[in-house]
Structure 1
Amino acid sequence: MREWQVKRRERTRQLIELGGLVAKAELVDLADDDRAMLYGAFLWMADKLRSDQGDHAAALWRRRGKRAFNMAQAENGDLDSPAPD
């Protein structure tokens, strides 16, 4: 397999996994599949991470995400949840 094919597959997998996180957080339903709203929320998040409060926000979101992954694993043996760092 050529290098560009490997990179393309890796990118495709990454995008699928990220889309899975959006679905797992129920954002698709909560936003009524409004992609402009979701994009706006992602832009807000990116602005927050770039701000002087970025480190604090990242730590807070990371802790909350790890807790949610751990709860999902404990509740139903969710194999889609990555192991916490």
Structure 2
Amino acid sequence: MQKTKINKRKIHRKVAALSAIPLLITLISGTAYSILQPLGVDAFWLIKWHTGNFGFFNLQPFYSIFLGISSIISVISGIKLLQKKT
């Protein structure tokens, strides 16, 4: 049982680390855009970053799918770590 707990933790750490950076980019760019828009600042590039268009790397077709799937996996693996075996 201890070995499976360690494997679950490794999976959770890897998925969380992999999804943390894109989630932070999405969170920060969306928040910054919503703050700057009422001030009259047109920062459309923030919306591009928010949707996965990073200039040379246009990940828009896959970005939201990746964020959704990695978030779901992170939540499920985190819940599995909290469950106690009786």
TM-score normalised to the size of structure 1? 0.32
Larger Rg: 2
- Higher percent of residues as strand: 2
